[in-house]
Structure 1
Amino acid sequence: MSEPFNPGPAAMLLTDACRRGVQFADLPANIKPATLRDGYDVQDRFIAALGDPVAGWKLGVGSANAMRRAKLARPLVGQVGASRCYASGDTVPVPTGATVTIEFEIAVRLARDVAPLQAELAPAALAELIESAQVAVEVVLSRYEDRTAVGMPAFAGDNVGFHALVLGAKIDTDSMEDVRASASVALDGVACAQPLADDDAVYPLEALQSLLAHAAERGVTLRKGTVVTTGTLTRPFDVPAGAHTVQATYGGGELVVKLAAQAAG
């Protein structure tokens, strides 16, 4: 009978890489999670070791096409650290030399606590869970040099590549589809990303339902007021190392993110 998986060693490597602002190729085979359950155990240890209070949740690999390619039944879930939340116009530090990925999203805040037994709700009940909605940009930076090459359990252990979340203005929850349809993202004044559609698109209520299922499996109570960023509305794009400005526009509004290099620790 094999020994139970120990998430500690993998979490230690990820924590060290995160603190020093460096990347590595992959986890050693003898400490690498083989299942999503093991990957989330690594993630929990990783987040605990960082010591950053959890302000919310993120969904990734969430479109029908992305899940099909990754052989996932539902999106991956990561945790949003409070110290890594920013406001529109703020500067997000990025380790020197690192390439980040930009995703324009809709984030919602929960209107009440959700116990882990509530794994599935009807659409109307899901909508009632949303206290408010706002635009957001997630800055993705994996601890792996190539996050697509390590497998989904290892990527889940890496907190699904979360680096930072920039929160913008509130929007009417009834306007979420209008925000998607009008979204455009520019890098240093040059348009880079337009809305995703059909099976490449992510839908906030479906993403929220997936988070409830994840929380039920993990025995987690989702707390009132926490933020849930539901997945990218526009095609993700990479931003090379250096100082840059990202401008997301939607229906007359905008969200600005400034990126600046920070020396590795």
Structure 2
Amino acid sequence: MSTTPLTSEQISELANALSSARKDVRILDGFPGPIPSTLAEAYVVQDGSIAASEQPIVGWKVGMVPPDLRDELGAERILGPVFKDVCITLTEQQSKGQAFELPVFAGGFIAIEPELVFETNQDIAPGSINTANGVEHLVKAAYAGIEIASSPVIDLNGYGPTAIASDIGNQYGVILGTSIPDWKTAIAAMETSTTINDELINTAPTDGIFNGPLSAFAFMIDCCAERGITLPAGSLCSSGAITGVHETLVGSTSTVKFGDVCTMNFTLVDNKKA
């Protein structure tokens, strides 16, 4: 991580390098420039990638900052946009176990993360919500979901939170499975599991992420407010990895289960061939 503030030229070059690698499906052997020293810088880089995209934003992914870096960066979480072309709503059959395929950057960073995905029930303008008063009333629905974490940058996560935030939060899709009825009560008694290539990787309480999934939803609202971003009604919040960030490879088969509510069976495929 650089300790010197990036110049506007460096920020522009970095945003261009990251966004063009995604657009061209071109793998990068390393992070393509100096790593931002602050999350504020990283979000300016991210803004450049957002501006370069032709896709509308349908929501945001929320990720964690490692505990040992939270004081230094002044945040517990980071934010990244979810573009329309990589947001997939499963059919009823796919939410009940019918196999499907998900594209990723073959040779780049690849991981799967089971996550609760919240949907907002109204427009949220910057500064219009005091999240300290609670945010549950802003939830239209909660879905069993998956974040596909994938980037052209090999080992992107190894470069730290500011690098991850710079590259749109290291995500390549949010998968919407079943809408969970009576979600708040349901997730309190639910477990989520991840199996990869027939090996059970982990099982964890569905509501067990740091400070609970609604804290991630509140973070999305606050972070977007600080950046002057309005959240339209229907915006999605992928609220953070429940069982962990599970690195894997093209060709791997996985099963993500949200209790008895949703079972998602999928194979990761090369996005150049998908």
Same fold (TM over 0.5): yes
Q: Percent identity?
A: 25
Instruction: State the partner residue of 2:12.
Output: 8
Structure 2 counterpart of 1:177: 188
Q: Are 1:42 and 2:55 matched, yes or no?
A: no
SS in 2 for 1:183: strand
* Stretches of structure 1 lacking an aligned partner (at least 5 in a row): none
Secondary structure of 1:136's aligned partner: strand
Give the deviation of 1:223 after TM superposition: 1.1
CA displacement at 1:99 relative to structure 2: 4.8
The superposition leaves residues 40-98 of structure 1 with CA deviations (integer Å, 9 ceiling, x where unpaired) of 1111111221211101011001xxxx541332423100000100012344421223334
Task: Give the secondary-structure state (helix, strand or coil) at the position aligned to 2:152.
Answer: coil
Contact kept in structure 1, 2:143 and 2:179, CA below 8 Å: yes
- Residue 97 of structure 2 corresponds to none
* Deviation digits for residues 18-43 of structure 1 (CA, Å, limit 9, x no counterpart): 123313312323xx433211111111
> In the alignment, which residue of structure 2 is the partner of 1:94?
104
Match of 1:83 among 85, 107, 131: 85
Give TM-score scaled by structure 2 length.
Answer: 0.83
Matched positions, count: 254
* Residue 104 (structure 1) shift: 0.4
| Structure 2, unaligned runs of 5 or more | 95-99
**1:245 paired to 2:245:** no
CA distance in 2, matches of 1:222, 1:239: 32
**Whole-angstrom distance in 2 between the partners of 1:100 and 1:233:** 17
TM-score (normalised: structure 1): 0.86
Give me the whole-angstrom Cα distance separating, in 2, the residues matched to 1:139 and 1:70: 24
Is contact 2:108-2:152 (8 Å) kept? no
Stretches (4+) displaced over 4 A: 196-200
The corresponding residue for 2:60 is: 57
Measured after TM superposition, the shift of residue 152 of structure 1 is 2.5
Tell me whether 76-85 or 7-16 shows the greater mean CA deviation: 7-16
Q: Please say if residues 143 and 161 of structure 1, whose CA atoms lie closer than 8 Å, have aligned partners that are also in contact.
A: no
CA distance in 2, matches of 1:119, 1:86: 28
* Contact residue 62 and residue 216 of structure 2 kept, 8 A: yes
Cα RMSD after superposing both structures:
2.5
